[in-house]
Amino acid sequence: MSLALTALSEQRKAARFAHGTQRALPKDVAALSFADNDYLGLSREPRVAEAAIRAIRDSGTGARAARHLAGSCPEHARLEKNLAAWKGTEAALVFASGYQTPLGVIPSLVGTKDTVLLERNAHACLFDGARLSTARLRLFTRNDANSLVEVLTSSQKLNPEGRILIIAESLHSMDGDFVDLQSLVALKNRFGAWLLLDEAHASGVMGPAGAGWAAEQRLSPEVDVHLGTLGKALGSSGGFVAARALVIDHFLNEARTFLFGTAPAPAAMAAAGQALEIVRSTEGSNLREKLQANIRLFSAGQADPKKGPIQTKMFGSNDRTLQARDSLRAAGMEVAAIRPPTVPDKTARLRISLSARHSAPEISRLLEGLTQLRDA
C-alpha cells in the first residue's frame, strides 16, 4: 500500500472514531437476534433449505456467468414467473443482490435530461442508482404531499420535456413507517410522472398473500416499477424488479447490473421460490398473523409504536446508542445500533426487527432489557 493511501486511510479512520461512526464486523453476536430482516423466519425453514440443496444437485453451485452468456437455469425462470404473479405484473427479472437491482434499473429508466425525485432519507442503494443515472436529483420529505408537489412543480417547469421518476420505500428501512401511497399515486398521475416503489421490507409482510404495501392499499396497478428483495421475508438472497413485460424486456437489455453481472446462484433462486410458495399459502397467512401479534405485544405501551416489524429506540448520541447495543448484547440479545451516515446526524438509534419466529417470552425479555436501559 502506498504511503499516500495509508495516510488517507489513517486520517479517515481517525475522523470516524472522533465522530463515533467507526464500524467493525461483530465477533460475538448474541444468540437471540432482533437485528436481522428474516421477518417470517423462513431462512432456516427446512423446506427452503431442501429446495436449495436440490437446485445444487440439479443445476450446480453457481450460475456460471451472466444469463445472456450462459442462459437461464430453470430456477431463474420459475421464480420470475411466480414473482410476477405474486406482484400482479406481467413479468419479473431477478438480480444477484437487492442492492444491485436499483443500480441497474434506475439508470436504465432516466438520464441527463430527466429528473429523479427521491425521499430525503431513502436507502443508499436508491441514492446510488439515482446518481448513476446522471439525472437531476431532487429530494422531498417523506409523507409530505406539499413537499412533493413543490419539487414536482419546479421540476416540470424547469424541464417540461424531461421525464420524472418518483422513488419511495413502501416500508422505510430505518424509520419503520409506511409511505402514504395514495398521495404518491395521485401526484404521479397528476404530473405524468413514473413511480418506482421499493417494497424490500414490506413484501412478504403486508398485503394479500404478502404481496406488499401496494397490494395492501389496492394500488399495485398504479405502480410503474415494483422493486423487491429475496433476502428479507423470502429468506434467501438476490433482488428483483416486476413490471409490464415490455418494461422488463427493457431492463433485460439495458440494466447494466443485469447485463454484466453473474446471475444469482440457482440454490438462492430455488430457496426464494420455496419461501414464496409458503408466503402465498395459508401457512404464510398464519406467519403474518404471528408477526402482527408480536408487533402488538412489543408496541403496547411504547411511546412511538410502529405498525410494521421495524421498531426504533432513539438515543441521538452515537456513544449512547453503542452502549445500549452492548448492554443488550451482554444480556444475550442482538439489536442493531444505527448511526450516521446510515441515518441523519443526531438520530442514532437502536433498530429492532421483529419476526414471526420470535416467541412471546423472547419479546418480553427484550422489553425488560429496554426498560433497564431507560432506567439506567
Active site residue 2: no
- Given 76, 87, 123, 188, which residue is catalytic? 123
Active site residue 150: no
- Given 198, 199, 216, 334, which residue is catalytic? 198
Active site residue 334: no
Which grid cell is 370?
429496554
- Given 45, 119, 169, 175, which residue is catalytic? 169
Active site residue 123: yes
- Given 232, 237, 355, 358, which residue is catalytic? 232
Active site residue 143: no
* Inter-residue contact 218 to 122 (CB < 8 Å): no
- Given 143, 173, 294, 318, which residue is catalytic? 173
Q: CA-CA distance, 280 to 282, in Å (whole number)? A: 7
Coil, strand, or helix at residue 219? coil
Coil, strand, or helix at residue 62? coil
Q: Longest Cα pair distance anywhere in the chain, in angstroms?
A: 61
- Given 87, 172, 188, 201, which residue is catalytic? 201
Q: CA-CA distance, 239 to 261, in Å (whole number)? A: 13
Query: How many Cβ atoms from other residues are within 10 Å of residue 141's Cβ?
Result: 14
Active site residue 68: no
Active site residue 169: yes
Per the listing, cell 405484473 goes with 89
Coil, strand, or helix at residue 294? helix
What pairs with residue 314 in β-bridges? 349
Contacts for 3 with CB less than 8 Å, ≥ 6 apart: none
Q: At what angle do helices 124-132 and 100-109 cross, to 10 degrees?
A: 40
* Residues tagged active-site: 37, 123, 169, 173, 198, 201, 232
